[in-house]
Each structure stands twice: as structure tokens, then as C-alpha cells.
Structure 1
Amino acid sequence: MATVEARPDRQAVAQRLLDSSSELSYDPATEVDWETPLDPAHHGMSPEWCTLYGTAYWAEMSPEQQRELTRQESASVASTGIWFEMILQQMILRDFYGKDPTDPAFQWALTEIADECRHSIMFARGAAKLGAPAYRPNRVVIELGRLFKTVAVGEAAYASILVAEEVLDVMQRDWMRDDRVAPFVRTINNIHVVEESRHMKFAREETKERLEGAGWLRRQINALVVSIVSYYIVTSMVGKKVYANAGLDVDRAVREAKANQHHKSMMRSSCAGLMEFLNSAGLLTKAATWFYQRANLI
């Protein structure tokens, strides 16, 4: 009975998201200033979000080095976003394959995929304009992602989507309001924040609906899956190559970044609302918490 009653609400949410999308959406090809050359006086992200901010190494760096590092890290975060957005699109397409196309939820799913396609192109062009190479997760993580996008279903898929979107959302809300950040990056962040707010609403609704009637064992398994996926997403955002391309001592940079309590605190505080939702959904188990702690999300 609970599932039957929930469906009209789900359709209503999907219709509201469709209406919102028709009223407020962006075309990055025309909204972002792609023509003006990059001003090296700007950062690529708010410095406080940099993995080395607050360390001894950061204090020794020149302002030019600091700005270059933030640009490389911003491009790396964008590249990780592209990687997961491609996983997201495939999971949603597989989930809605063969379902009723007149259902607003079906139509919203296609709208979200269209958004993500534009976002991925936008991130790719933004990373290139920041003067960064093509950053990618390591081969093991790429192959794990290939497996996940093939087999993930229900709440495991949608809760993982939510984690990736929420972590990026909090960062980018800071970056888009920061005058120190390159204007075109701020525009990219603003577009992503506005449109991803709808995606996160849908992911939350889908997660809750798929969990209705789920037993203890199913929640335990999926909570663990989501936490492992979250760990690999977060730990893939900034890799060693970022430090090398910023002209830093890679071993020292990696060592100080791993010990950086400021950055860990930023990540934990940004995920407070997300963890509250996962807990309310029964997806914050003891085993899952271990992985979130390892990723500095809790």
C-alpha cells in the first residue's frame, strides 16, 4: 500500500522538476565566457578548498604557485565530475529503459541526462581553459566504476549519485561567490549549482522510494556499497599528477595533503546534511561509517 501511495507524490515531484527546468536552465555554450583569455591573477577555486591550504607547504608557495595549484585542482575536480556523470547517465538510462514514457519521472530522467551531457562538455572546456591536462581516476577505479555502472540498481545507484552531487555542490557554492576565482569558473559553478539542485531532489526522492519496504540485510549491503563508491569518488578528486603539473614536490605535497586537518574539516562540515539524510534513510551503518571516515566525510 505504501508504494502505491508514494507514486503520485513521486510523479508530482518529477513534474515540478520538469517545470523548474523549463523556467530556469542554461546553455553553457553561450552563458560561459569562453573567449576571454584566462587571467593568471585568478584562482581556479576558493583557496580554502585547496588540499594544501593551511599547510607549511602552502605558506612557502608564492601567490603564483598557489593560484596555479588551485587551477589544477579545480580542473581535476571537474574531470572527476565528468567521469561520474558518465556513470550516472548510464545508470539512469538503464533504470528507465522500457518504462512508461508518459510518466513525468521518465521525462525528468531524460531531462537530467541532457543536463549532465551539457555539464560534462562544460567541465571539459573549463578544464582545458584552466590549462590542465585530462585528469582521470586511476585504472583500478575506472574499472570499478565500469562494474558499478553495469550492476548498480535502486537505492545503491541513486544514493551514490546523491553523494557525488552533494559533495560538489557545497564546494561550488563557495567558489561561485568568490571574487578571487576566475569569472568563467564562477559561471560554470553557478550553472552547475542551479541545475544540480533539481538532480539532488530527484536522487533523494528515488532513494527514499526504492528503500520502502527494504529489509535490514538489503539496507546493510547497499549502505556499504554507497560508502565504498563515495570513498573512491572523493579520493579520486585530486591525484598526484595535479601537484606535478603545478610544479610542486609531489611526495611532499601528497604527504602534507594527507595530513591536512583544515581540508578534512572542510569536507566533513560540507557533508553534514548529506550524512543526516543517509542516516534517516538507514544507509549510515557502522560498516559504511568506516568508509566515510576514511574519506573524511564524517
Structure 2
Amino acid sequence: MTSADTRGGAVGSRPDRQAVARRLLDSAEALSYDPVQEVDWDTPLDKDFHGTSPEWSTLYGTPYWDEMSAEQQRELTRQEAASVASTGIWFEMILQQMVLRDFYAKDPTDPAFQWALTEIADECRHSIMFARGAAKLGAPAYRPRRLVVELGRAFKTVAVGEAAYAAILVAEEVLDVMQRDWMRDERVAPFVRTINNIHVVEESRHMEFARGETRDRLAGAGPLRRQFNALVVAIASYCIVTSMVSEKVYANAGLDPERAIREARANEHHRSMLRSSCAGLMEFLHSAGLLTRAATRIYQRANLI
């Protein structure tokens, strides 16, 4: 019993791969959440709370942050949280299409096939949860730049194998580290902490699957294929990470957008937070042969290394 790779190779449903998929299915059955029931959607937004841990704000550590009132700081983090959620929705829609295409017409009795559908169901719930959370934070619909949207459209159409799963892993890993901080931070709005907790618990299974699929698809890959896909994943990662916080959040938080954008771009504190959050991810990409010299330069530009 094999699952054909969309490159024309084959990814065998090996016993260990099946065992991982069965374990993930069992975990999903034992520990999954219904955001409709778990998240407090009815209590009005309490503006005494942040949307993210302040230390994760793009302006934290800048002169502008120090000049802002506590109310302005909280409003900015709420707008930033909504922007991250909106970017998450955008990429989760890309993820769902790539996974569906990968498992199209494969063996439905394979536990990996059933896990893929479970993951897609999780992502649908997450996207609705993020959308409702952003609305409750009082934010507009933040979207990536038009060029990034179109690049995403192309990526979801052509990305296959390790390129698809490694890009999925990058998006999930970066967000996971942020949300682990936010869900424990009592300064963050309680309903946002619940959203983060749900996402962290359920995405941990998705990340384990993505790591395994990335390794499997790379088995036997030649140097040219690794070089090409390393570059594709790095470009996708750059687009994802640089789109997480829209530049529109600053005006919506009542700040001077030109000054805020200038100081955010030069904010070494935020860069260091991103780099530290990606240490484990970069170690994995290196071990998989996807951290080439060209890819490293792109990760550096995205402040991930």
C-alpha cells in the first residue's frame, strides 16, 4: 500500500508512518476543542488587556513604545494580534489546498489519509476561530500585500512534496512559539489566551506530521532538488513572516504610521525575538538539507537567523 507523491515518486505507507498517523488520530480524538463552546465569545472586550504579550509587539523596545500611553500600547497589541490571526487564516487556506491536492485519489483506508482530513477539519475550525477573534478585538480585515497574495496563489498551486510540508512547518512553528508566550500571559485578554491554547495544542500534531512528511519526501532526493526546494521554502517563509503584522495596524491603533513603520523596521528587539523563536526550526531545516547558502540569506533578510 503506497501513497503516490505528486512528483511521480512514491511515499510508502510504512508501518512507522502508519503508526504515527494512528497516534495522531487517537490524540485528536482524545484532545481536541470546539472553539464555539470553549472560547468566551459573549463577554464584551475588556480594553484593559493586551492582544499579545507586549514584548512581542513590533514596537516594543523602541523610543515610540516608551512614549505611548498604556492604552495605546494595549490597542496596538490588539491590532497586531488581529493581523497575525488574519495572516494565519490566509496561510491555513493555502495549507488546506496543498494537503487536499497531495492526498487526492489516494487510499482512504491509510491512516495518513484520514489524518490529513482531520488536519484540514482542524484548520477550518481554526480559521473561523481566528476570524471571530479578530472581529472581537475590534480590528478590520488585514490581508497580505497584493503581490504576496498572488505569490501565495501560485505557491499553493505548484508546491508539492517537501516544499509544501516544509513551508507548512515554518508557518506553524513561528506562530507556535509566539502563541505559547501569549497563552500564559495574564496581561493578554482571556479569550485570546484560550484561542492561543487551542491552536497550540492542536497545531502540535500538525507540526509533527509536517516534519515526518518533509523527511519522507526528501528521502533519496538529489542535490539539485534539495537546492531548489530549499529556495522555494525560504521565499515562502519570507512572505509569511513579513506579512504577519500589517503596516496598517499602526494607523488603526491611532499612531503616526510613518514613524511607527520606520521604528518597527529598525527594531532589533523584535528581530531577536523572531530569531530566538526559530532556532529549533532552523536546526530541523539544516538536518533535512534545506538550509542552503541561498536559503540562509533569505532567512536572514526575514530576521529568522
Alignment of 1:133-212 (within 5 A): 133-212=140-219
> How far off is 1:6 after superposition?
7.2
Alignment of 1:1-298 (within 5 A): 7-298=14-305
Q: Deviations over 1:233-282 (max 9, x none)?
A: 00001122111100111111011001100000000000000000000000
> How far off is 1:9 after superposition?
1.0
Q: The residue matched to 1:176 in structure 2 has which SS?
A: helix
TM-score, with length taken from structure 1: 0.98
Counterpart amino acid of 2:213? E
Q: The residue matched to 1:54 in structure 2 has which SS?
A: coil
8 Å CA contact 2:129–2:195 kept in 1: the answer is yes
Counterpart amino acid of 1:107? Q
Return the alpha-carbon distance in structure 2 between the equivalents of residues 262 and 85 of structure 1: 28
Q: The residue matched to 1:251 in structure 2 has which SS?
A: helix
Q: The residue matched to 2:226 in structure 1 has which SS?
A: helix
Q: Deviations over 1:150-206 (max 9, x none)?
A: 110000000000000000000000000000000000000000000000000000000
> How far off is 1:5 after superposition?
7.7
Aligned length: 296
> How far off is 1:103 after superposition?
0.1
Counterpart amino acid of 1:275? M
Return the alpha-carbon distance in structure 2 between the equivalents of residues 193 and 144 of structure 1: 27
Q: The residue matched to 1:134 in structure 2 has which SS?
A: coil
> How far off is 1:19 after superposition?
0.3
Counterpart amino acid of 2:173? E
> How far off is 1:82 after superposition?
0.2
> How far off is 1:31 after superposition?
0.2
8 Å CA contact 1:6–1:209 kept in 2: the answer is no
8 Å CA contact 2:53–2:182 kept in 1: the answer is yes
Return the alpha-carbon distance in structure 2 between the equivalents of residues 239 and 37 of structure 1: 25
> How far off is 1:111 after superposition?
0.1
Identity of aligned residues (%): 83
Q: The residue matched to 2:248 in structure 1 has which SS?
A: helix
> How far off is 1:7 after superposition?
1.7
Counterpart amino acid of 2:129? M
Return the alpha-carbon distance in structure 2 between the equivalents of residues 296 and 164 of structure 1: 14
> How far off is 1:21 after superposition?
0.2
Large movers: runs of 4+ above 2 Å: 3-6
8 Å CA contact 1:79–1:124 kept in 2: the answer is yes
Give the RMSD, CA atoms, in angstroms.
1.0
8 Å CA contact 2:13–2:110 kept in 1: the answer is no
Q: The residue matched to 1:206 in structure 2 has which SS?
A: helix
8 Å CA contact 1:90–1:149 kept in 2: the answer is yes
Unaligned segments of structure 2, at least 5 residues? 1-9
8 Å CA contact 1:73–1:238 kept in 2: the answer is yes
8 Å CA contact 2:11–2:216 kept in 1: the answer is no
Q: The residue matched to 1:240 in structure 2 has which SS?
A: coil
Return the alpha-carbon distance in structure 2 between the equivalents of residues 239 and 270 of structure 1: 20
Return the alpha-carbon distance in structure 2 between the equivalents of residues 5 and 249 of structure 1: 55
TM-score, with length taken from structure 2: 0.96
